[in-house]
Amino acid sequence: MILGDGSRCETLMGAMTARRRATPRRHAATVVRVAIVAFAVVMAVIPLPRALVETVYSQRAYPIVRQLVIGFSSLTGLVLFDLLLTGVLVALLGWWTLRLIRASRGGRLRALASLAGQTVVFAAVLYLMFLGIWGLNYRRESLGERLGYTESRVTEPVLETLTAAAIANLNQLYDSTQGGSWPQLDELPVRLGTAFERVQQRLGVSPVVSGLVPKRSLLTPYFRRAGIDGMVDPFFLQILVNETVLPFERPFVTAHEWAHVAGFAHEAEANFVAWLICLEGDEAMRYSAWSFFVPRLLAALPETSQQRLGAALGPGPRSDFAAVRARLSRTIPIVRRNARRINDRYLKANRVASGVASYGEVLQLAVGTDLGRSQW
């Protein structure tokens, strides 16, 4: 009895000592978790000076990060964003399920609270990775400021002039591209890559990044139903393109995502850079540029001007626009609306005040900057 009691006391004393030793470690881990979440919240809420982001991140840190990330992601043909998305979802589901199953009946609420807290920390880490790898480019100085954008240049008569020139170019390019072949997605880096590099040099991107081969993602069925043409993976900087986009759409869609990788996160800026890239290419590439621009130019004009200028569209471009409408008609309305709503919130959370409306602001850059006007 005496020996048994002594052994039990020694065991209890050992357990208490172990707990005391573990307490500082748990406290330190808690402090680190709280610090990570707090830092993520600060980065999400506090506005950083755009000049600081431009100088320190976009022009100095991001090119280094981009080179390292692309160097890593180019080692494999796998779509790493698919693996990341699948892995995170499976890991979180398995982790939550296992922890809740192992928890005692009375301890499940405590386990649930612990899981929620740890998931918040994990989300904060992912958010900080997103900012560091690519996302801070949303907060850089606007391309319009760097190119001397002048709002007074954007007038209805000027837009009408540009629209007339765009339609004339589109009609001519349609005729000259008949009989030729449109490049497949994996052929675009060769067909359009040199133009991409020239435009980067003109815009002061240093060092320039080469054109990346677009990837076919597991998300393509969702892209097709949601009306999403493509995206850039903000963690591995791979280009994901909806393979159902029409052949004459491929160059512009790919160039748009290349522009994102070059550091132009704002959608209007990416559209503008993609337009410049395609106009630097051959006739097929230029047709892709103007086929993107003409519908948006017409939509920006009064109805009477739309009808007058739109009447000049040739039957070829009209049939291509009808094919685009037919492709988009195969989307699922509720999926498309929700995707648009999510994208709008995502853009606004990243300091793009106009949200999804920012896509159409490319016209201001095309008309209100010298670089845009020189192309027409």
Distance CA 44, CA 47 (A): 8
Q: Assess whether 70 and 134 both reside in one domain.
A: yes
Q: Assess whether 178 and 213 both reside in one domain.
A: yes
From residue 109, give the alpha-carbon distance in Å to each of 135, 228, 270, 341.
36, 40, 47, 33
Average pLDDT, the chain: 91
Per-residue confidence band for 331, with pLDDT thresholds at 50, 70 and 90: very high
109: in domain: yes
The pLDDT of residue 109 is above 90 = no
Query: What pTM did the predictor assign?
Result: 0.90
Tokens of 116: 């929620």
Domains in the chain, number = 2
Q: What is the pLDDT of residues 59-83, one digit of tens each?
A: 999 999 999 999 999 999 999 999 9
Per-residue confidence band for 137, with pLDDT thresholds at 50, 70 and 90: very high
At residue 1, the pLDDT reads 42
Distance CA 230, CA 374 (A): 28
Q: Assess whether 263 and 363 both reside in one domain.
A: yes
Q: Assess whether 124 and 160 both reside in one domain.
A: no
322: in domain: yes
146: in domain: no
- Which residue segment(s) compose the domain that 128 sits in? 2-139
Q: Assess whether 156 and 134 both reside in one domain.
A: no
Query: Looking at the DSSP assignment, which residues form a beta bridge with residue 232?
Result: 239
Q: Assess whether 269 and 308 both reside in one domain.
A: yes
Q: Assess whether 131 and 179 both reside in one domain.
A: no
Q: Assess whether 334 and 189 both reside in one domain.
A: yes
Q: Assess whether 127 and 162 both reside in one domain.
A: no
232: in domain: yes
Q: Assess whether 349 and 242 both reside in one domain.
A: yes
For the residues 228-240, what does the mean pLDDT come to?
96
